[in-house]
Amino acid sequence: MILALALAVAGLPAQAGLFGVAYGDGLNLADSLMVQQGFVAQEVIGSWVIYTSDFNPLIDFVVLYVDPDSEVLHGWSVVYNGENTPEQDKYVLDQLHKMHGESVLVDKAKETVSWIFDESRTATYSYSPQGNLRILYYDFTHPELFILPASEQQGQEPSPVLE
Quickly state the pLDDT bin for 152 (edges 50, 70, 90): low
- The confidence score (pLDDT) of residue 159 equals 46
Q: By mean pLDDT, which of 32-36, 48-52, 99-103 is the weakest?
A: 99-103
Closest CA to 22 of 64, 50, 69, 56: 64
Residue 163 in this model has a pLDDT that exceeds 80: no
End-to-end CA distance of the chain: 45
For the stretch 9-18, what's the b/e string if a residue is b when 16 or more beta carbons lie within 10 angstroms of its beta carbon? eeeeeebbbb
pLDDT digits (tens, 9 = 90+) for 93-120: 999 999 999 999 999 999 999 999 999 9
Q: How far is CA 84 from CA 10, 32, 59, 65, 148, in A?
A: 40, 27, 9, 25, 26
Q: What mean pLDDT comes out for the span 47-59?
A: 96
- The amino acid occupying position 154 is Q
